[in-house]
Structure 1
Amino acid sequence: MKVKLSDMVDAIESTDDETHYYYNMDSGEILFINDEISEDSEKEELEENFDRYISLPSKYDIDDYQIMEQFIWSLSDEGQQNRLENGISGRGAFRRFRELTDELGLTQKWYDFRASTYQRIASEWCQDNHVELVDDYK
Structure 2
Amino acid sequence: MKRPVRIKAIIEALEFLSGDTEIYLNTKTGEVVTLPAKAEEETKPGEDREDFSELEDEILEKSREEVCSDEYILMPQRLEINELNLMENFCNGIKEEKLHDMMCEEIHHRDAYQRFKEKIYRFGLADKWYQYREQMLRQQAIEWCERQGIIYVDE
Q: Give the AA of the match of 1:59.
A: R
Q: Larger relative contact order (C-alpha < 8 A, sep ≥ 6)?
A: 1
Alignment correspondent of 1:64? 83
The corresponding residue for 2:9 is 7
Number of positions where the alignment pairs a residue of Structure 1 with one of Structure 2: 134
Q: TM-score under structure 1 normalisation? A: 0.89
TM-score normalised by structure 2 residue count: 0.80
Within a 5 Å distance, the mapping from 1:28-107 to structure 2 comes to: 28-35=30-37, 36=42, 39-47=60-68, 49=69, 51-107=70-126
Gapped runs of 5+ residues in structure 2? 43-55
Show structure 1 runs of 4+ deviating over 4 A. none
Q: Percent same amino acid at aligned positions?
A: 28
Distance across 2 between alignment mates of 1:27 and 1:102: 39
Q: Which residue of 2 aligns with 1:22?
A: 24
- Tell me, yes or no, if the aligned pair for 2:67 and 2:73 is still in contact at 8 Å: no
Report deviation, 1:60. Answer: 0.9
Q: What is the Cα-based RMSD across aligned positions, in Å?
A: 1.5
Amino acid across the alignment from 2:66? E
CA distance in 2, matches of 1:133, 1:80: 38
Which amino acid in 2 is paired with 1:33?
L
Instruction: Write the distance in 2 (CA, Å) between the matches of 1:28 and 1:126.
Output: 11
